[in-house]
Amino acid sequence: MRRVVLALVAIVGSVTLGAQAPTAPAASGYLLPPKEIVDILDTAPPPTAELSPSRDVVVLLERAPFPSIAELAQPMHRLAGLRINPRTNGPHRLNNRYRNLTLKVVADGAERKVTLPATPAISWIGFSPDGRRLAFTNTRENGIELWIGDTATGQARAITPAQLNASLGTPCAWIGEGASLLCAFINAGRGPAPAAAEVPSGPNIQENRGRAAPAATVQDMLGSVHDEALFEYYATSQLAAVDAATGQRSPIGKPAIHSEFRPSPDGQYMLIERVKRPFSWLVPYRSFPSSVEIWDRRGALVKPLADLPLADNLARGAVLPGPRLWRWHPTQPATVAWTEALDGGDPKNKVPQRDKVMTWTAPFAVTPAELTRTELRVQSVTWTSAGAVWLTENDRDTKLTRTWVIDAPGAAPRKLSERSSEDSYANPGTPMRQARPSSTDALLQVGDSVYLAGVGSSPQGDRPFLDKVNIKTGAKERLFQTEEGSYEPVVGLLSDDGSKFITRYETRTDPPNLYVRGRESASRRPLSTYKDPAPAMKGVKAEMVTYQRKDGVQMRATIYTPPGWTPAQGRLPALLWAYPQEFTDAKLAGQVTGSQYRFTTPGWSTLHMLFLTQGYAVIDDPKMPIVGPGETANDTYVEQLVASAQAAVDKAVDMGVVDRDRVVAGGHSYGAFMTANLLAHSDIFRAGLARSGAYNRTLTPFGFQNEDRTFWEVPQLYSRMSPFNHADKIKEPILLIHGEADDNAGTYPIQSERFYRALKGHGATVRYVTLPHEAHGYVARESVMHTVAEMLNWANEWAKAAKPRTTTSQQ
């Protein structure tokens, strides 16, 4: 997790550090936290970066600050798992929203600002395969337009009107080397949007006749015939080739719901998926019936690849029996590859081989060829730049994952690695990629070697690395590893021999910035100059600690203390912020992950770290492992959860940092579920902060997290794990916060609403806050500020200022 350092003011023990109280709770209106927190949150986050395929320039992407609640209040249609803004025909909420683009020359650091519109809202960004151009989309009030920039000068302009259709995702892909793009446009002849009838013509009806269809608990599904019409209206697009120089459009095919469109590397074919009726009211559009086809450049059908049925009856972990994971072979002109199940798609079927991988080469006149078969389920198939197959398979139940290399069609697969997906220490890293024509990519292979960059988890914490791996022999050469006291992952290679690369370097006191460097630390040269957003917080101390749970499971946490604090000043109130994880192996659950040397970047994921500014210690991301073989881990969920929390607090108390009587538990989503269970089944904490949680597991009856058993198979487990069922046991004050438009599977807002009523009915101390227009993660500035203020108010009232409950020892 990326973190940012924060500013501190507080009263700690008898030492006054100048804390400022948050705005007092009000019946209505948005609250603000103390000014130092407001200033931190209003600071722009560090830029992200993309390296051009030619490796001569990097584009720095400066993200916009939190949007306003007015922006979130724009109209929204919730259709088939999508959230569409009818004014733009794109996503209601931009996950990445950039306001500045800067091209940095790798050789000398020279800077070129990219020409942008007056009020930019940039989202999708992609270099052309030859690196000469940069494409990006800009969202206006009335639509989405395509811009093209020259990487040599930074000059850019809109080459289409605001008519792109981004309702189903990225609206464009480069064709070939970059002379043109394949884009989805709004159907020009669609007319006005379907209007809802003022008077219903009849009821909305769903029916099932004896067919088992266990659907996951998901949100934003279709719910009426009018919803179906709206989905078809906004999702239907007209494909067209767009000349990157002139903007001239050449329509391809007919309007349809194009959920995927991928040009072949030579630009002569297209891989198309079209969604078709009948639609479902129970599953997202990705599970609707569809046709997968190969078209020529003009839009004529060359060959059908798959006719996929409605996928509303797949058990957890199951796949459709037909083709899936289709993609173009990146080093061939026009060869398509896909995976097919050999077990009917059901992981419970006992078969010697689960999947097969197929290829089909233009002009697609002969029978497709089988490339290989796998014992486990195929996770991914790609190729190296030299044409070798790189295949990863895994097993959901045992967590076994393997990577194979196939040098050429017909060659025997050669195992490169095998490990448990839970084994962080054995993670070999991720291969570095090379851009190829038509927005495809391959794994960079030089000679017999590929390059893998990884996190480098170890008993001492994460130390990112770059390895050169011989795929013939498996021999590894470590080219680079982060030095002690810093965190420095490799983000891109600049030379084929791995001697020069780009890293993102940070320490506890140095904010993350991009550097060009070689294998020696003295060679580091900055590409970005992101400033410390809170220089007064350089005194924050972080210590990664390990300890044991009472059952012997090794655990880890990072304990942060405010700047200037020493044990002589007295013990601190504390916030424990966590998210439980399931493991099949106790030894692997005890592995150390994370780094105490990361800078704390302000943002949504680090709001809990703002407690440091108010005189709290933070017990951050303590391991809360739920361990058990197969499907048994959750059988002792409550016992393991309480033991993990007790061990973390005991460690912080034993270190002389934390006041045992003033510890608050908190978490988001499954962390909120954890928080409610800890208050229901223990007396470790004085209060709880629970954001956007699910508290009644009978509302997710076909499984949740890694629990595959259904409610009807293990009703007692669902009951015991549901804090809703134990609302009468919760005596500590709990704050519930939930986005009113939560879009996450299982965490319907009704979860918090009903939990609040249960708690209130039993006389609990509880506050229930709902945030208008917010989804599972909160993004509006007003909502984020209010959330922090609520959390601080609650913790201050019920923990920080609380008197000791007993005279129990701190030891």
SS (H, E, C) 561-587: ECCCCCHHHCCEEEEEECCCEEECCHH
The candidate with the shortest Cα–Cα distance to 285, out of 12, 555, 470, 79, is: 79
Active site residue 742: yes
Q: Cβ–Cβ contacts within 10 Å for residue 88, how many?
A: 24
The candidate with the shortest Cα–Cα distance to 338, out of 391, 388, 302, 285, is: 391
Q: Both tokens of residue 667? A: 């978490």
**Among 220, 395, 742, 743, the one annotated catalytic:** 742
**Among 92, 738, 773, 776, the one annotated catalytic:** 776
> DSSP state, 194?
P
Q: Both tokens of residue 106? A: 């790798």
Active site residue 668: no
**Among 669, 692, 722, 783, the one annotated catalytic:** 669
Compute the half-sphere exposure of residue 735: CA atoms within 13 Å on the CB side of its CA: 26
Residue with the two structure tokens 């054995």: 426
SS3 672: helix
- β-partners of residue 100 are 62
How many Å apart are CA 136 and CA 394, to the nearest integer? Answer: 35
CA distances from 623 to 633, 654, 707 (A): 15, 18, 19
How many Å apart are CA 258 and CA 679, to the nearest integer? Answer: 48
379 within 8 A of 393, measured Cβ to Cβ: yes
The candidate with the shortest Cα–Cα distance to 30, out of 795, 626, 724, 786, is: 786
DSSP class per residue in 370-424: EEEEESSEEEEEEEBTTS-EEEEEE-TTT-EEEEEEESSTTSPPEEEEEEETT-S
Instruction: Name 191's Cβ contacts closer than 8 Å, sequence gap at least 6.
Output: none
Q: Both tokens of residue 88? A: 């733009």
Indicate the Cα dihedral angle 275, 278, 284, 286, nearest 10°: -30
Active site residue 669: yes
SS (H, E, C) 430-477: EECEEEECCCEEEECEECCEEEEEECCCCCCCCCCEEEEEECCCCCEE
Compute CA 387 distance to the chain's CA centroid, rounded to the nearest angstrom.
Answer: 30
How many Å apart are CA 622 and CA 210, to the nearest integer? Answer: 46
759 within 8 A of 725, measured Cβ to Cβ: no
How many Å apart are CA 123 and CA 144, to the nearest integer? Answer: 10
Q: Cβ–Cβ contacts within 10 Å for residue 538, how many?
A: 12
The candidate with the shortest Cα–Cα distance to 224, out of 204, 245, 206, is: 204
723 within 8 A of 695, measured Cβ to Cβ: yes
Residue numbers annotated as active site: 669, 742, 776
